[in-house]
Amino acid sequence: MALAVTSSSTAISGSSFSRSGPSSDPKALQICSFRLSELSHVSQRRYSLKSLKAESHTRNDSLVTRASTLITPEVEEKEEDVEDFEQLAKKLEEASPLEIMDKALQKFGSNIAIAFSGAEDVALIEYARLTGRPFRVFSLDTGRLNPETYRLFDAVEKQYGIRIEYTFPDAVEVQALVRNKGLFSFYEDGHQECCRVRKVRPLRRALKGLKAWITGQRKDQSPGTRSEIPIVQVDPVFEGLDGGVGSLVKWNPLANVEGGDVWNFLRTMDVPVNALHAQGYVSIGCEPCTRPVLPGQHEREGRWWWEDAKAKECGLHKGNIKKEDDTTADLAPAIVHDIFESNNVVALSRGGIENLLKLGNRKEPWLVVLYAPWCPFCQAMEASYVELAEKLAVKGVKVAKFRADGDQKEFAKQELQLGSFPTILLFPKSAPRAIKYPSEHRDVDSLMSFVNLLR
C-alpha cells in the first residue's frame, strides 16, 4: 500500500501541469505530507476492517457491531468536509483580493487554476504570486484571438516564469462549423454556436481536471449579467474532477473591485497588459467579436455589439444569466426605473409607433430611440439623448422613445429594425421608411449631424 501511494505522488509531481515555484517549496511539502499521511491512515483502517472480517466467516451480532464502529468515523469525516460556500462567500465579502486568492490556493492546492485571457487575469496572477503559494494558469486558445493577445501570453509566461496550460477547440467540430456556415456566421445568427465550439466545450474539458477555478469576473463588468456574482460559489454550470453537480468551485476574487482600481493595481505593479488597451479596447475576446469602445459606452459594448446587450456572455459564465421564467425576472420591470425622462422626449405607445410607421407625409421629422431601461448601454446615453432633445425642440424635430423589450421585442425586430439596444431611428418628413442610425457614436454632436443631414 505504501508503494502505491508513493507512485501516485510521483505521477502528480511529474505531470504536464505548469506550476509556479519550485517543488521544494515548504508549503508544497506540507500539502504533500498531509495527503500521504491521510491516505496512509485510510489504508490502515480499511486493512483492519479486512482483518476483522477474516476472523470468522459466520455473521454474528458482535461482528456487526464492531464493523459498524469502524465504518462510522469515515462517514462522519466525509460529512465534515462538505463546506457551505455560500456562507464562506459572506465571510469573505469584505476581504481583499489577495486574502481571497490566498484562501483559494490554500484550500485547493494543485487542484485549482486561474483562467487567463485579459487584464483582470493578469491581476489575478500577480495576486497569486504575492501569496507565495504555487499556482497554475490555463487559457483557451480559440484560434481567433488578436496577435496582441498572443504576445501578451508570451510576456506573462516570461514575467512569471510559468507555462500557461493552453486548451484548444476540437478540430473536427471547428471544421464542420466553418464548412457548413462560413467563417463569420455569428454576425447573422448570434455568437452562441461559435462560442460553444471554440470556448465552452474546450473549457468543459479543462475544468474536468480541476476541483476549482479562479476567474477575473467583476460585478461592474456587465450590470445585466454579472451584478450579483459572489466571491466564491459552487459552479452552477460546469463539473469538476469528481464529476456530477456540485463537483466544481468557482472563485471570483475581484467581484467587488471596480475596473479603475484593477488598472491602478496593474500600473503600480508594472505587469504586462494587452497592447490593445491603448487603442480603446477594454473587454477583449476573439478578434472578429471585439472592438474599441467610445466615450460614454460601457466596456462590454465592445463585445458582440450587434446583439442584445442583456445576454453579453459567451457561455463561460452562463450561470450569470437568469432564465426568463425565473421569478426575479417577473419582478424586474417593477424595480427598474424608466429612463430618458424629459418634457422634450415623447413616450410612444405601441399604437403611437405604429401610426408613425404608417404616415407617408409627416408634419415634422421624428427621432426615436428603441430602448430597454435595464440596458446599461441605454443608460449610458441617457444624458446625451436628453440634451439632444432640448436642442432639437427649437428646430422642429420631435424626439421620442419606445420601450422595445418584453412583449414588444418581436414587433420591434420585425417592424422597427431592432438589432440591439439602443437602436435609434429617424423618421423623415417625406420618406415612408425609417432610417436607422448606423454609428456607435452616441454623443450629441454625432446624433445632431445625423439628424441635420437627413431631416
pLDDT digits (tens, 9 = 90+) for 262-289: 999 999 999 999 999 999 888 899 999 8
Residue 11, pLDDT above cutoff 80: no
Residue 79, pLDDT above cutoff 60: no
* Distance, CA of 411 to CA of 397 (rounded, Å): 25
- 8 A C-beta contact, residue 366 and residue 400: yes
Residue 43, pLDDT above cutoff 90: no
Helix (H, G, I), strand (E, B) or coil at 366: strand
- Which CATH number fits the domain 345-453, given the four candidates 3.10.20.30, 2.170.120.12, 3.40.30.10, 2.20.130.10? 3.40.30.10
* Distance, CA of 5 to CA of 35 (rounded, Å): 10
Task: Give Cα 201 to chain centroid, integer Å.
Answer: 15
Of 111-125, 249-263, 308-322, 348-362, the range with the lowest mean pLDDT is 308-322
Q: What is the mean pLDDT of the chain?
A: 79
Cα torsion at 81, 86, 90, 93 (round to 10°)?
Answer: 100
Average pLDDT over residues 128-144: 96
248 grid coordinates: 466544481
Residue 92, pLDDT above cutoff 90: yes
- SS3 of 365-399: the string is CEEEEEECCCCHHHHHCHHHHHHHHHHHHCCCCEE
pLDDT digits (tens, 9 = 90+) for 389-412: 999 999 999 999 999 999 999 999
Average pLDDT over residues 371-381: 87
Average pLDDT over residues 134-163: 96
What pLDDT score does 331 carry?
Answer: 33
Question: Which residues of 79-158 form beta strands (DSSP E)?
Answer: 112-115, 137-140
* Distance, CA of 221 to CA of 205 (rounded, Å): 26
Of 58-72, 73-87, 145-159, 176-190, the range with the lowest mean pLDDT is 58-72
What pLDDT score does 307 carry?
Answer: 73
Average pLDDT over residues 124-140: 97
Query: What does the DSSP assignment read for 30-42?
Result: HHHHHHHHHHHHH
Q: Which of 1, 33, 6, 201 is nearest to 109 (CA)?
A: 33
pLDDT interval class at 52 (50, 70, 90): very low
Average pLDDT over residues 443-454: 90
338 grid coordinates: 424608466
Half-sphere exposure of 254 (CA within 13 A, CB side): 27
Q: Which of 284, 403, 229 is nearest to 333 (CA)?
A: 403
What pLDDT score does 337 carry?
Answer: 87
Q: What are 399's strand-pairing partners? A: 345, 367
Q: What are 400's strand-pairing partners? A: 346, 368
The Cβ of residue 283 has, within 10 Å, a number of other Cβ atoms equal to: 19
What pLDDT score does 189 carry?
Answer: 78
- 8 A C-beta contact, residue 421 and residue 375: yes
CA-derived radius of gyration, the chain: 28
What pLDDT score does 309 carry?
Answer: 53
What pLDDT score does 259 carry?
Answer: 86
Q: Is the peptide bond before 432 cis (omega within 30 degrees of 0)?
A: no
E strand or H helix at 152: helix 147-160
Helix (H, G, I), strand (E, B) or coil at 199: helix
- 394 versus 335: which is more confidently predicted? 394
Share of the chain above pLDDT 70, in %: 73
Residues with catalytic roles:
375, 378
User: CATH 3.40.50.620 in the chain, residues?
Assistant: 85-320
What pLDDT score does 296 carry?
Answer: 65
What pLDDT score does 386 carry?
Answer: 95
Highest mean predicted confidence (pLDDT) among 128-132, 325-329, 376-380: 128-132
What pLDDT score does 164 carry?
Answer: 97
Half-sphere exposure of 354 (CA within 13 A, CB side): 5
Q: Which of 160, 138, 156, 143 is nearest to 209 (CA)?
A: 138
Residue 61, pLDDT above cutoff 90: no
Topology at the third CATH level for domain 85-320: Rossmann fold (3.40.50)
Residue 32, pLDDT above cutoff 60: no
- 8 A C-beta contact, residue 381 and residue 296: yes
What pLDDT score does 88 carry?
Answer: 95
What pLDDT score does 103 carry?
Answer: 97
- 328 versus 443: which is more confidently predicted? 443
- 372 versus 7: which is more confidently predicted? 372
E strand or H helix at 347: strand 345-347
User: CATH 3.40.30.10 in the chain, residues?
Assistant: 345-453
Give the predicted TM-score (pTM) of the model: 0.56
The Cβ of residue 194 has, within 10 Å, a number of other Cβ atoms equal to: 25
Of 207-216, 261-270, 425-434, the range with the lowest mean pLDDT is 425-434
pLDDT digits (tens, 9 = 90+) for 211-260: 999 999 998 876 555 578 999 999 999 999 999 889 999 999 999 999 88
Of 77-86, 265-274, 283-292, 430-439, the range with the lowest mean pLDDT is 77-86
* Distance, CA of 313 to CA of 320 (rounded, Å): 8
What pLDDT score does 225 carry?
Answer: 57
What pLDDT score does 102 carry?
Answer: 97
